[in-house]
Amino acid sequence: MGITAYGRETGPRGEQFSLPTAYVESVRDAGGLPVLLLPGERDVERVLDAVDALVFAGGGDIDPALTGGAHDTNYAVDAERDRFEVALLAASLPRELPVLAICRGLQILNVARGGTLHAHLPDVFGEAVSHRVAPLDPTPHGVMLEAGTGLAEGFGAGELTVASWHHQAVDRPGEGLRPIAFAPDGVVEALELAGAAWLTAVQWHPELQQEPGSPQRQLFESLVERAIDRRR
């Protein structure tokens, strides 16, 4: 199960790649073998030959040149990671690889399909719903799932409480994408792609809600199950 990693950072021993362990443990707990996919790989087809499914992880903002506009709150923009993930996502779709896109991952999906993002949610939606609070401290809020969608059927519920940490979100959906879940203030919280065999894109962080009995666990379990079925 390929998981996209964060971009290059300078650490005590020079440049390094990183990824929060919650993504890795969520894949492991679901029965998958996690493999980190690092920015800078040029041959995405070779990368895809090595994995059975993809998890696009969260992280910093996407290059404003791709999203539709810059904002003074933009942070951790990484052109190398953007190029890799946009190419990886585009190449994965014809292969019908199962994909779980989380937070930034949903945004990568949207811009890869030609969509745009709201540059800073409080400027557009106000602060009635907190989508991001103190750094690295996710905030809970409700999400309404559109009835009849695969996401709503999978959760068996029309409303969830999710762990949120983002300040951007979908503005104009990309080609073939349809919003299927919303926060109470109208922010898009999930997308589906017409014709995709198995693609789940959520704006929240399910990897942070993996306690036993949590419905968020089934996103990773379904991803692994789909990957196994595809290999048979």
Q: How far, in Å, CA of 108 to CA of 188, rounded?
A: 14
Catalytic residue of the set 85, 189, 192, 207: 207
Matching residue, tokens 């959760």: 155
Q: Other CB atoms closer than 10 Å to residue 13's CB: what's the count?
A: 6
Catalytic residue of the set 85, 103, 118, 166: 103
SS3 content of the chain, % helix, strand, coil (to 5): 30, 20, 45
Q: How far, in Å, CA of 5 to CA of 151, rounded?
A: 25
Catalytic residue of the set 9, 141, 205, 211: 205
Catalytic (active site) residue 205 = yes
- DSSP state, residue 70: -
* Backbone phi and psi for residue 136, each to the nearest 5 degrees, phi listed first: 65, 25
Look at the chain and count its residues: 232
Contact 1, 189 (CB under 8 A): no
Q: How, if at all, do strands 177-182 and 188-193 pair?
A: antiparallel
Catalytic (active site) residue 207 = yes
Alpha helices in the chain (DSSP H): 21-29, 44-49, 64-67, 79-95, 104-112, 121-125, 150-155, 217-231
- DSSP state, residue 173: -
Q: Which residues are catalytic?
A: 103, 205, 207
